[in-house]
Amino acid sequence: MKNVLTLICIVAVTSGLLMGVAPDVHAKSYTATVESVSDGDTIRIRETIKGTNKIRLLSIDTPEMYYHGESQEPWATQAKTYLQQLLPPGTSITLETDVEETDDYGRLLAHVWKGNRNINHEMVRQGYAVTYFIWPNIQGITSFRSSLVEAKRNELQIWNASNPLPELPFEFRLRASGRQPEKYVGNVQTHTYVQPDAYQQVPVEDRIFFWSEADARQAGYTPADQNEGHILLNEVMPDPHTSFKHEFVELYNPGDQPVDISGYIIDDRVGGGSSPYTIPDGTVIPAKGYWIWEPDYYFNNAGDDVTLKSPDGTIIDQYSYQFSSNDASWYRSPDGGSWSETMDQTPTKKDRNQ
């Protein structure tokens, strides 16, 4: 509930970062001219680069216009139309690739720059695209994540609560083709990964996909079920008003055995804040059980981080919110699942999330 006097400065700095920076001079780059826009994340160029004139905008995913006889309308056309506005025929662009330059379809995978404007980033920032990072192509992952969080908070385009995109594009493709999830999914905040069919355990903005479990391990990720007893942040209520006297953070143990969390740390800064809280010795969360911490004036109403760390400072779980409401909470649904996109007006402290 503490006030943040420097909020304006923080927003100003963040906004500058989200607008994009000059292309990375260490990445491979190619100059090209736009021929046409195929859909919200694919364009054609007049030149041929690495045997193709088809460019797949790297690390983003937009609604499908036509896939196995189905489409994600009207969101697919809206994304294409916006990209056409950004990249009309004849536009001079710079294509910046990452570690892997082409996909299985032979398309060039690239960040599309129009001057100093990263068009891929712009599609995420305006709510027309979701991030879709597939290792090892992870350039820009931090700034893209921030823009996705902001687009969701502002309910832009596919995140509009009154008419949201029912399925993420990759979910749509899986269902339409009758396939099951194939990629392992990492959490960029905790550096843990889950099995392909457990992807919903990782918040949308924190996902990074791996073609294999070996890739995930090579990238330095560890299995989520081996991470510090599998304890999770489960519910956060930062702004008590009438129904609650204190803020609260709820931890959840989804495992089948009790877990001793003595010495674990709760902090409001990922990198370490000024007043981290250390959980007392002898604190144990039962199997499928909860533990509650109730501070006063600890979290910012206008947005903050909630970080759970092991005694040695390793991040176990982390959640960031951009705003809060009186007596309402951010929560995982169901317990241990994905974080909610809206606040619960009836928090369920130390009880099952609906």
Number of domains within the chain: 3
Q: For residue 290, which of 244, 332, 326 has the smallest C-alpha distance?
A: 332
- Residue 29 and residue 154 share a domain: yes
What mean pLDDT is reported for the chain? 88
- Residue 267 and residue 212 share a domain: no
CATH for 236: 2.60.40.1260
For 87, what's the count of Cα atoms within 13 Å in the CB-facing half-sphere? 33
- Residue 68 and residue 39 share a domain: yes
Confidence of residue 272 (pLDDT cuts 50, 70, 90): low
- Residue 250 and residue 208 share a domain: no
Q: Which domain holds residue 78?
A: 19-159
How confident is the model at residue 270, as a pLDDT?
53
- Residue 23 and residue 150 share a domain: yes
- Residue 185 and residue 144 share a domain: no
**Cα gap 148→128, rounded to integer Å:** 10
CATH for 95: 2.40.50.90
- Residue 233 and residue 325 share a domain: yes
Tell me: the pLDDT tens digits for 200-221? Answer: 888 899 999 999 999 999 999 9
Write the CA distances from 49 to 31, 72, 94, 96, integer angstroms: 10, 30, 12, 12
Give me the active site residues, please.
56, 64, 107
- Residue 135 and residue 58 share a domain: yes
Own/partner pairs, 120-123, CB within 8 angstroms, 24+ separation: 120/57, 120/58, 120/59, 120/60, 120/144, 121/18, 121/20, 121/147, 122/20, 122/86, 123/40, 123/41, 123/57, 123/60, 123/62, 123/79, 123/82, 123/83
Tell me: the pLDDT tens digits for 76-106? Answer: 999 999 999 999 999 999 999 999 999 999 9
